[in-house]
Structure 1
Amino acid sequence: MGTIDSDLYRSITEFAHDTPSWFQHLMEVWTELGLLLFAVLFVVAWARARGGDPRAFAVAVLAPLGTAVAYVCSELAKSGIDEERPCRAVSGALPSLVDCPVYGDWSFPSNHATIAAAAAVGLALAWPKIGLLTVPMAILMAFSRVFVGVHYPHDVAAGLLLGTLVTLLVVRLVTRPGARLTEAMRGSGNGLVRWFAGPGPVGAGYVSGAGGGRRGGAHRR
């Protein structure tokens, strides 16, 4: 691994060992707790968009989907690159704050950083104001993986980039068909499907009548 990256890894892990124990524990917990918080925010974003504009609802549902796709891409990259973890590979580095992952659990790119970036961007697209929270969350989660000693800086940088690009691509490609699917779900005969998608904006949903469902509300004359 490059000297610059290894030196930066050593500097960050040395800084980590100099911090108070409570802060070290906080960063250890954050590497996993952040994922749980993103999951909760996915549910909140879905609830906010449920029953609203079909495109907005589609983006809210695509946020976790894009995150899942980004994770799969990250795993595929790991299986092909086989980069050893810095907690074993960097000579002269201090011990990692958490157990070094087993051999074969490769380092590049960081799954945590990939998932965090994908979730942060997806949530920001679905709920723009929340981006002020999710983006810093993702960056902190990525940094925490170097802080605890299990990733190189370039691992988390690549993960952040990969998660961002994959989510943007998924949302760009799938939002339009997702909005059409949302409208179809809102007109479905299955109550659970209708509940999941919500009723839709007033005057914009399906109106049932003797002749079957149709789009739009009553027209004024």
Structure 2
Amino acid sequence: MKNDLLKILEIIKLGEKLKFEMRHSWLSNGRQESVAEHTWRVSLMAMLIEPYLKQKVDSSRLLKMIIIHDLVEAEAGDIPAFDTMDNHTVKEQKAMNEIKSIEKIRDTLGGAMGEELYNLWFEFENKETFESKVANALDKLEAQIQHNEADISTWIEIEHKMSFMMDKHVGFDPILQLFKDLIEEEAEEKLKEAGIDTNSIKEAIL
């Protein structure tokens, strides 16, 4: 038992790194966001939105999936989505680094728990189950909410376009689609207030 607890303590200490691993997102007070803060709010979103989803969700599995998914970034680092969008090499390297990290987490914990977290991480990545689709959708939506809350000066140009590219993540559930629409409307209003032509952005996506 003591040995098992030492292994758990090692993973908890790994999690501390997420408190100072920064994301390409800024808070409303001008401070950069940590991965840990992002993960916490995705978990909060899951808890609040779960009762409204069209299909019953395994809440425990959903929350575990959200929490474990970003833990790999304690070693692999956080790479923004826009860095992998059109760069196959970066995308492939990111995947390799994250797989190495989740394998290390599995091997450190060992036993059933190590295998469970390993499988949950890949379930999220594969996006085939309802829970994994919800987890992925909330992950993307939280990032956009955070952008909406940050000063527009922190946005880079590709993020103007990405504000209108979330449909593919939410189309499987009407509530998430509606939730996305509300978040997208906030983004569009913010862009318009900054004098940015959102119609041309949306036309370019189509």
TM-score by length of 2: 0.35
Pick the structure with more helix per residue: 2
Which of the pair has more CA radius of gyration?
1
Normalized against structure 1, the TM-score is what?
A: 0.33
